[in-house]
Amino acid sequence: MLTEQRDIAALASVAWMLLIDTGQWPKWGPSVRAVDAPAQTATADVIGKQWTVRASIAICFACTKGLYES
C-alpha cells in the first residue's frame, strides 16, 4: 500500500478537514490534478479516482473505516 506523510502547522481538527476534503486535494497535493468521487468528504466506503499531474490515467482510491474513522 502506498502512503503519504506531511507535517502541517495547524490545529489537528483544521488539518483533518483539509485532508478529507477531496476538493482540496489538488490545492495541497502537488501531484494531484483532479479528483472524481461521489462525495467531497473522504469518509468510510468512499471510492473514487484521482488524476496526477504527470500521468493521464486515473488512480483509484478507496477509504476505509480503519483509516478515516474511529
40 within domain boundaries: yes
Is 37 within a domain? yes
The answer to whether residue 35 scores a pLDDT higher than 60 is yes
Average pLDDT over residues 31-52: 90
Answer whether residue 1 shows pLDDT above 70.
Answer: no
Question: Is 46 within a domain?
Answer: yes
β-strand 47-52 against 58-62: which pairing, if any? antiparallel
* Residue span of the structural domain in which 38 resides: 31-70
Q: Using CB atoms within 10 A of its CB, is residue 42 exposed (0-12), middle (13-18) or buried (19+)?
A: buried
Domain count, the chain: 1
Q: Does a structural domain hold residue 49?
A: yes
Question: What is the pLDDT averaged over residues 42-49?
Answer: 89
pLDDT at residue 50 tops 80: yes
| Residue where the block lists cell 468510510 | 44
Mean pLDDT on 24-40: 90
Residue 4: inside a domain, yes or no?
no
Band the pLDDT of 6: cuts 50, 70, 90. confident
**pTM of the predicted protein model:** 0.70
